[in-house]
Amino acid sequence: MPVTSNLMTLSVRSARRISLRSLVWLGSLAWAMGAVSLPAVAALGESATSVEADRESMNANVTLNRFADYTVQELQAPTGILVKEYVSSQGLVFAVSWQGPVMPDLRQLLGHYFDRLAEAADKRGGHRQLTIRDTDLVVQSSGRMRSFNGRAYLPQLVPSGVAVEKIQ
């Protein structure tokens, strides 16, 4: 009888651990889906004209890094979130990346591509990492409490000669 009792105790402990992991993931996903959202930058695939308004709403410092075929606009918020927006010479956001103790508003960052991320998250369940690798969209997101990061880019808009490994 004691052996059965010990096995039941271990089973309950394992179930609690799995439940806690699921709750952490679901909480992170809810945050990412905008249940608790922080303003971000211009949406993926769209014009980068809203950076100043976004900087103000995030109370962020902006740093511009110019390269031959694109510009990286970094927004550093007091909350610790760092969002990078990669803008082509045509003024289109071809990639975004994020890192910080909380998730930024991915609905705003990804624009109309957000629904594909949400759909993929629903299919995957309680995983901490999520990857979408399609011909027109790549999203890589991972995280745990107080440590979230990810990137998304549109392969068709990435300027020729720009290595996607630089999108971080």
Per residue in 46-90, pLDDT tens? 888 766 666 776 788 999 999 999 999 998 999 999 999 999 999
The one-letter amino acid code at 133 reads R
Domain hosting residue 87, numbered range: 2-166
Q: Residue 54 has what pLDDT? A: 65
- The structure tokens 């993926």 sit at 44
- Whether pTM exceeds 0.85: no
Count of the separate structural domains present in the chain: 1
Task: Give the pLDDT confidence of 28-49 residue by residue, as tens digits.
Answer: 444 444 434 444 456 888 888 7
Sheet holding 93-100, edge to edge: 61-66, 70-76, 82-88, 93-100, 147-153, 138-144, 129-133
Query: Which of 7-16, 75-84, 111-120, 141-150 has the weakest average pLDDT?
Result: 7-16
Dihedrals phi, psi of 150, to nearest 5 degrees: 175, 175
